[in-house]
Every structure is written in C-alpha cells, then in structure tokens.
Amino acid sequence: MWLTSRQRGSVAEALRRCGVRTSGRVGRNPGVLGRICGVRTAWNTIGDGEFFCPGCGGDRNYRRRTGRRRFTLLGVPLLSRGTAGPVVECASCRDHFGTDVLDHPTTHRFSAMLRDAVHTVALAVLAAGGTSSRTVLSRAVGAVRSAGFDDCTEDQLTTLVAALAEDTGRLPGGPCDPSGVTLAIELHEALDPLAPHLAPPGREAILLQAARIALADGPYTPAEREVLATVGAALTMGAEDVERLLAAARTPS
C-alpha cells in the first residue's frame, strides 16, 4: 500500500512516539510497511448454507459474510476504511466469491431439476402422441429412468397421461385449451430454471431424447411437433436449431 507524503509523515511520527526508529522512507518500501501498517477486514457472518463452490468444484458449506475494513498500525486498528462484501466464503477452501455464485444450483439440486425436466418432457410428448404404442412407452420409460426415476414403469406413465387428459384443458386440442397453452406453461416451468445451467450439448440432448420418443411409432404428428417446438423454446434454442435437431433425430443413433 503506497501513502502520500503527508500520510507517510503521520505514520513516521506515530512510530517515533511509540519508540520505533524509522529510516525516513516509511511508505516507500512495501515489504517493511506491510509489517508496520495496513488494512485489515473484520468479518461478520450473516448467513450460511450449501452451495456449489467454483474453487472446489463441488457442493460445500458456505458462510455469507460482511466486513468492516480498518487501517492498522502495529496491529492496532485505528481508522475505518469502509465496508467489505457481502461475500460468500467456502467453508472448505476459504475462498471468497460474489453472492451471484449462489444462483448456481448445487449438484444435488441440479440433478433433481434435470430429472424432473426429463420426466415432464416425456409426459408432454406422450400426451401429444398418445400411449397406445408400446414402443413409444418403452422409449419414454427408458428416458425417465436414465434421468433418475429408476422405478418408473409404463403403467405409471400411462396413468399420469390419463390423469392429465381428465384435467380439462391440459392437453393440446382440449376443449378449453385448443393450443395446449397450459401444457406449454408446465414445460416452461420445468425447463426455464434449468436452461441457464445447461451447456448447448445438454440442451440438445433433452430435445433429441424427446424427439426420439415421438418418432418411436412413426413420423411426428402436428401435436408432437408443437410440443417439441415448445421444449426447444424453453431451452432457449432457436427455431432453426430445433428443426435441425428434429431432422437429426430421424437418423438412427
């Protein structure tokens, strides 16, 4: 920390009063000055929780902290230098991060979001195309199980789709919702929070998976295309990318 001439004189005078001999060059040698005076922060914890630590690369406990900075002389705090933070301090690596780091979900939370999103997308595709095809149901069950619902069965998915059909207006073409607006809202509710945390390949994988469920019993129906377009939009994908992926899904993997 570099001081002005006036500040160096004040520090030198204070040191002489304390019986410390100086060379007259206080403030010009950072190494010596750092041992004599500096600025320290006294931290205060205002909250805690669990977060994904960018430094550790995994889920860790954190403390949310604010601080007061003070100029110190020979270890004694003298003058206030303002406030610091708020910051997020990792309980493991002790690094400090901006509070926006808390916007990133923990690994556990991210896995749950992805699992729920795949489940919702699979149900939407089945609702649009029907559950009469065993091939379609089998493909949907495989997608949902791979996302984390290990005990998912064809009967469970069929029951859920039937329940949606009985809830007036929730399926495309319903008497109170001919455009499937309510179903589109549910897709956005499941995918909107997830999309910012997915890399482009991850978003594409979800749409391709949904497209292959729809194609399991033949070409896309208009209702299936509408649902897939909604999935792509909720994943912040452009219309051209959606069409490219729907075409790519027709090619056997």
- As a whole number of angstroms, the distance between CA 161 and CA 156 comes to 9
pLDDT given for residue 88 in this prediction: 95
pLDDT above 60 for 169: no
Percent residues over pLDDT 70 in the chain: 73
| pLDDT tens, residue by residue, 97-121 | 999 999 999 999 999 999 999 999 9
Please state which of the ranges 45-59, 71-85, 189-203 shows the lowest mean pLDDT: 71-85
Q: Which long-range contacts (CB under 8 A, 24 or more apart) does 221-227 make?
A: 221/128, 221/129, 223/128, 223/129, 223/172, 223/173, 223/180, 224/125, 224/128, 224/129, 226/128, 226/172, 226/180, 227/124, 227/125, 227/127, 227/128, 227/172, 227/180, 227/183, 227/187
Q: Is residue 213's pLDDT more than 50?
A: yes
- pLDDT for 126 equals 94
Asked whether residue 129 carries a pLDDT value surpassing 70, the answer given is yes
Q: Is the pLDDT of residue 33 over 80?
A: no
- Kindly report the pTM of this predicted structure: 0.73
8/73 Cα distance (integer angstroms):
12
Return the minimum-mean-pLDDT range out of 57-61, 83-87, 125-129, 138-142.
83-87
What is the rounded average pLDDT of the residues 200-219?
96
Distance, CA of 25 to CA of 238 (rounded, Å): 64
pLDDT for residue 167: 65
Residue 230 has pLDDT above 90, yes or no: yes
Share the mean pLDDT of the chain.
82
Please report the pLDDT score of residue 246 as a whole number: 96
What pLDDT, on the 0 to 100 scale, is given for residue 165?
Answer: 75
pLDDT of residue 117: 96
Helix (H, G, I), strand (E, B) or coil at 50: strand
